[in-house]
Structure 1
Amino acid sequence: MSSLLDDVDRRTQMVGQNRLELLLFTLGTRQLFAINVFKVREVITCPALSRLPSAHPIIRGVATLRGKTVSVVDLAQALSMSPVGSGERGSFVILTEFNRSVQGLLVASVDRIINLNWDQIRPPPRGTHKDSFLTAVTQVDDRLVEIIDVEKVLEMVTGPARDVSDALVSSSRGGGRVRCALVADDSTVARKQIVRALTQIGVESVVVNDGRQALDKLLEMAAQGPIEQQIGMVISDIEMPEMDGYTLSAAIRKEPALSGLYVVLHSSLSGTFNETLVRRAGADRFLPKFSPDELAEAVLGHLQMGDDAK
C-alpha cells in the first residue's frame, strides 16, 4: 500500500491546476470516505495496539511506527459509527501528518487513490449525523464520497486551540494597513480558530468557506472601491472545495484590482514542500496550522507596517 504514496514529486506538479488526490477508504460499511493524499505518510496493516486507560474514547491505542509512538484514532467512533474491528483482517492504519502532528487513523479498508479537480468537490449536505465532521463531498463511480474534516477529529482529542499570548495581545496596536483580513477555510474548526485569534489582536474578519467564494467576495469589494482600503490581507486554506488556495492565489495575482494583496496560505498540510509551492502559486507566505501566536505575529507583522514597507 505504501507504494501508492511514493510519487509525491508528481503530485506537487498539480499546484495551480486546481487538482487534488484523495485516498478512499471505508469504516465498516459500504460508504466511502476520503482524505487528501498530501496528509498521508503511509498506509499499513493495523499493528498491535497498546491501550491507554486514560485516553480519549476515540483513541484505540498507541503503536510504535517507524520508531515513533503514535496514537491511533478510530475514525468510525469519531463519527458516531460502530467501532472498526481492532486487529481484524483487512483493517488498516493511515499514518497522517497535519496540524504539526503525526497520528494514525484506524479504518476498515483502503480502496484506492483518485485524482480530481477541486471544482468536483462540493460542500457537504446538511442534516446527517456525520455532517459536522465532513468538510466536503464528491462523486466517484456514481458513489458518494464523504471527505473527513480531520482537523475537527483531532480537536476532539487535543481540545480547543489556546489563546493568543498576552504579550502579543498587548503589543497589537493601530496604524499601518487596514485591520481586516479575508479568511477562506472550509473547516468550521479552522475558521473559528482563526477568527478567535484575529479578534484577540483587534483584527476584523470577512469569512468565506472556499476559494471561489473568496475570489467572488474580493471582486465584489474591489468593484466598490480600492481593495487595500477595505482589507489588509488574505488568509486562505489550501484544501477547499470549488477552488483551492493555490488557485485562489494565482487568480488574485492575475486580477489588476487584487494583485497587490498580501496572501498567506494557512494549511494543516505538512510544511516540508509548501514553501516552494506557495511561491509558485503567487502567495506571499506559508503558515502551518495551528499556532495562535504564529498566526498573530504574521498578521501583525504585515498589518502594522506602512504601505510603503511591503
Structure 2
Amino acid sequence: MSTDLLDRIEQRTRLAGHNRLALLLFRLGGRQLFGVNVFKVQEVLKRPPLHSLPQARPPLLGLADIRQRSVPVLDLGSAIRHPESLTAESDYLVVTEFNRSVQGFLVSAVERIVNIAVENVKPPPENAAGSYLTAVTRYNQDLIQIIDVEKVLAEAIGETRSLSAEMRQKAVIGSEVRVLIVDDSRVAQHQIQGVLELLGATCVVLSDGRQALNYLKDLAKRGEKPSEHFAMVISDIEMPDMDGYTLTTEIRRDPALSDLFVMLHTSLSGIFNTAMVEHVGANAFVPKFSPDDLAEGVLLRFADLGLMDEE
C-alpha cells in the first residue's frame, strides 16, 4: 500500500497553485479520519523497530533507522490526546518533513490520498481553540480533521531556537513598519510575529488567504495603498479556504494590490518547487522555520525600502 501511495504523491503535486489540497488520510484508532498534506509525506512504512532514547517522554517514543538515518518517532494519537488511540495498535509509520526536519508519526491505519478544493477546507470550530487542529473538511460525507503538526512538534520536541544575537542587533528606523502575517498555525503565527517584533516591525496577523485578500481589498477601498501600508506580506502556503499560492496570484491580478511584496514562508521545504513561487509571482521564499533566515529575508526587504539604520 505504501508503494501505491508514494507513486501517487508526485502526481498530486500538480495541484499546487490551483487552490487544491492533497491529503493523506489516516486513523488514530476508531472511525475518525485525520489528514496531512501529502507534500509533507516522504513515505509510509509498517512500524519499524524503535531504539529508546534516554529520558524520552511520550509522545516521543524513540528513534527508527530509516534509509541510513535516525528518525525520531512520535505517537501521534498520544500527542494530540486522542482518546481512542489509547487502545489502538499503531501499525504504520508516516515519515514526514516539517520545518527542515524529518520525523515519523505512528498511526493505526493509513487509508488513501484524496484531493480537496481548498475552499472546502475550513478553520476548526471556535470552541476548538487550544486543540491540535488547523482545519477541517469533508470527503464523501466523512469529517476530516487536519492536524497542526507544527504545534505537535513544538510541544514534543521543543520550540525552534530563537533569533541570534547578531540578528537582534539589527534595527529598523521608525516604529511604523507594518507587516501582514498570514498563517493558519497559531504556533507559526507566534514564531513569525516574535521575530518581526524583535526587528522593530508591527504585525497584523490573519489565519488564511481569503481573510488576507479581503483585508487588503478593504484597505484599498478605504483609499489606502496596501503596498504603502505594509512593507511586506509573509504568507504560509497550506491554509484553509485560500492557499498562499492563490493569495499571491489574486494579489498580482488586482491593480490596487499588485505591487505588494509577498514572501512565501512554509514548512513544505522538502519538495518545494521554486518554479511555482516564480509562476504565481511571489517575491521571495523562506522555508520554515529558521528565525535567522526569516529575519535575513525580512531585513533585505527593509533595506530595499530604506528602513535600516546606517552603520
What is the CA deviation profile of residues 149-197 of structure 1, one whole-angstrom value per residue up to 9, with x for unaligned ones?
001111112222332222222222217x962111000000000000111
The answer to whether residue 289 in structure 2 is matched with residue 290 in structure 1 is yes
User: Which structure 2 residues correspond to residues 178-189 of structure 1 after superposition, within 5 A?
Assistant: 179-189=177-187
**3-state SS of paired residue (1:76):** helix
**3-state SS of paired residue (1:132):** coil
Instruction: Report how many aligned residue pairs link the two structures.
Output: 304
Instruction: For 2:201 and 2:70, locate their aligned partners in 1 and report how far apart those are by CA, in whole Å.
Output: 39
1:47 to partner: Cα distance: 1.1
Instruction: For 1:71 and 1:104, locate their aligned partners in 2 and report how far apart those are by CA, in whole Å.
Output: 6
Instruction: For 1:271 and 1:278, locate their aligned partners in 2 and report how far apart those are by CA, in whole Å.
Output: 15
Instruction: For 2:88 and 2:69, locate their aligned partners in 1 and report how far apart those are by CA, in whole Å.
Output: 20
**3-state SS of paired residue (1:174):** coil
User: Which structure 2 residues correspond to residues 62-81 of structure 1 after superposition, within 5 A?
Assistant: 62-81=63-82
Deviates more, 1:158-167 or 1:242-251: 158-167
Verify the 8 A CA contact 1:48 1:87 in the aligned structure 2.
no
Query: Structure 1 stretches (4+) deviating beyond 4 angstroms?
Result: 82-88
What is the CA deviation profile of residues 90-137 of structure 1, one whole-angstrom value per residue up to 9, with x for unaligned ones?
710000011000000000000111001100101112435x95210000
State percent identity of aligned pairs: 47
User: In the alignment, residue 285 of structure 1 is paired with which amino acid?
Assistant: A
Instruction: For 1:273 and 1:174, locate their aligned partners in 2 and report how far apart those are by CA, in whole Å.
Output: 34
User: Which structure 2 residues correspond to residues 89-238 of structure 1 after superposition, within 5 A?
Assistant: 91-127=91-127, 132-174=131-173, 179-224=177-222, 225-238=224-237
Structure 2: gaps spanning 5 or more residues: 307-311
1:19 to partner: Cα distance: 0.5
- RMSD of aligned residue pairs (Cα, Å): 2.1
Shift of the 208–267 alpha-carbon distance from structure 1 to 2, 3 Å rule, reads same
1:7 to partner: Cα distance: 4.0
Structure 1: gaps spanning 5 or more residues: none
Instruction: For 1:59 and 1:42, locate their aligned partners in 2 and report how far apart those are by CA, in whole Å.
Output: 19
Instruction: For 1:228 and 1:84, locate their aligned partners in 2 and report how far apart those are by CA, in whole Å.
Output: 48
Verify the 8 A CA contact 2:28 2:88 in the aligned structure 1.
no
TM-score (norm 2): 0.92
TM-score (norm 1): 0.92
1:57 maps to what in 2?
A: 58
User: In the alignment, residue 215 of structure 2 is paired with which amino acid?
Assistant: K
Verify the 8 A CA contact 2:237 2:266 in the aligned structure 1.
yes
User: Which structure 2 residues correspond to residues 238-257 of structure 1 after superposition, within 5 A?
Assistant: 238-257=237-256
1:55 to partner: Cα distance: 1.3
Instruction: For 2:116 and 2:88, locate their aligned partners in 1 and report how far apart those are by CA, in whole Å.
Output: 32
